[in-house]
Structure 1
Amino acid sequence: MRKSVKYSLIIGVVIVLLAVAITAGVVLWRQNDAAGGAECTVPGVSVDGASSPAVELTVAQLHHASTINAVGLSRGISERGRIIAVATAYQESSLRNRDDGDRDSVGLFQQRPSQGWGTKEQILDPIYAAGKFYDALLEVDGWPSLPLTEAAQKVQQSAHPDAYAKWEPQATTLVRSLSGASPLALNCAAGGRRPTALAPDRTAPPGTEDASPQLTAALAAAAAELGGITVREVDDEGRTASVAIALTGLPDDQAGRALAAWAVAHATGMGISDVSVDQQTWTDHAWHSDDQAQPAGVVEITVAP
């Protein structure tokens, strides 16, 4: 009888432990599934003795951070303004182009059609959403000198006005790395998940007539987000393009690195396999030194066959 009770207790304990383990596993799986897991790494950046932290994030998150920064670069928005925008999207959507949210909030900044931000379809276009955020930010009196959380709150009117500040270090790293930091080091590992949110078709820039559809789509997206792009040459296979870029407020070499960083950030979703700028080449999901330097402001972009 005692032996039976003892075994029953042991079995009961085992069942409880298994249940706890399974529950913990399910919770962890859901968390990892929701976050997507770290697929990309952006090393910290040091400027004038001040350092920002390394950032790990998913392909989709880096893709969207790159778009927000690119739209700011195309409009000549200062680094401070782009950091505010990326930090705001980090808090509002975790840098995901969500089609659901509180009440009718959607998109990277969880903007609401009912509050005059645009239609749902417009807001789900990351270029449109970022542009509307910058429009509103520029209307805030003295925004460049405000603490980040105050500037963001004046645009967003959030129920949690103090939440934006915690993302400033990460946003600083992302913006500086995506805006032509030297040398380039941001990277996404092979096997990352492609972003699934749909974006409108973009208009192909001149010079892409001989480019493959995949290369054309990548260059069209770059032109729509960054602007200032000139397609200099496309190889005979239609897979590699030499592209020059000029961005307001940036020297040519930094503008070239900004385009190269954009290409790496978008590589998984757009099938980009190789990027060359300055004396660096990104291939096989890693940066390498390259003896054959590209001219300042020129980037070579190749898509997979």
Structure 2
Amino acid sequence: MRKLVVAVIALAGFGGLVGLGALTALLAGSGGGQQDWGACNANLGVWGERAGGQQDAATLGEESLRIAAAIITIGEERGLPPRAAQIAIQAGKTESNLRNLNHGDRDSLGIFQMRPSMGWGTVAQVTDVEYQIHKFYDVLLEVPGWQEMRPGTAAQRVERSAYPLRYHRWEAMAAHLVSTEGDLSGLSGCENMAAGGVLAGKAMEYAHTKLGSPYVWGATGPNTFDCSGLTQQAWSAAGVTIPRVSQEQYDRGGAHVPLAEARTGDLVFWGYGRDPDSVHHVALYLGDNKVLHAPQPGESVEITELWDSGELLPHVVRPVPEDPPVTESTEPAEPTEPTEPAGTTAPEVPVGRPTATVPTAPSNVAGPGDDTPDDSDADVLPVEGGAR
């Protein structure tokens, strides 16, 4: 069984960055060797802030640590990827604080607050640790595309909670527990991977040819762009397909890498209140604390200093090709067309620099089993309480 190492490595969170001077220092380096592309899974690890995962794990009691260890061990025995254990830990922490409870909302019981009346099993089963974990994994594996989802979103698809955003709260902690040495780095296998040399170079070469092109909301070229239209087409020119809009580019555009490790061609994002679920702008990182982007209506594609108006996210996205990159001696692949023509997906909301922070509704964090029924999910098995 993999040993859970809690409070081993001190993690430097984005909160330690102060001003653009600190950003310049942190972003100056771009070393590191090329890693095998086959080892990279862009969908593992932490999507938002890294700081706090180790601290949260250190607050877990003995029972909670035993249950987390059981989740990891059973996942490994079933041959599941680490992401499955991360999802289960986030769900268990949210529903029961990773405890095998004998109470809950209505007849909700156990780690995941499964309800016997809703088909999760008998009372004896849903209070048996091993049964509960296997049952959670069984249902998770029936969720289409679960490995490509943000972990908390996948947890919600299993639990069917009336408060879907609450599972994200324990993302860093779960990744910390699942990682081999209690550290958040290295979990995805992408962190030390170079930006692809010829791939990033071709993306930036394309972007530079578009300097001076007018910003037009919803445009994806060839002569006008919005922010995500430019980034999508730049990487398309390198033969790498990424989603159309900035939120999807952050969620599914590639490997999440700390801002401090950004390299040329990486995608830099801004979100209201630094919330990774409220991304509204994206740019291409150039190096030397500079970005290339399509700013807002009335302006044109430009190169500017990286700025932080209180919305710069602490992670960049490194687009990852589906196939290994071509070598310098091989003819590059022909540029691909965007997967979604302009107008088929909601375009970006124009955002200038700096922007006013728009408050977002707070997530409803409920205690174990405090969910209310959601009739829209009535045909989904199983359902209720923590797990409906």
Q: Above 0.5 in TM-score?
A: no
* TM-score, scaled to structure 2: 0.34
Going by fraction, where is helix more abundant, 1 or 2? 1
Going by fraction, where is strand more abundant, 1 or 2? 1
Q: Which has the higher contact order (CA 8 A, sep 6+)?
A: 2
* TM-score, scaled to structure 1: 0.43
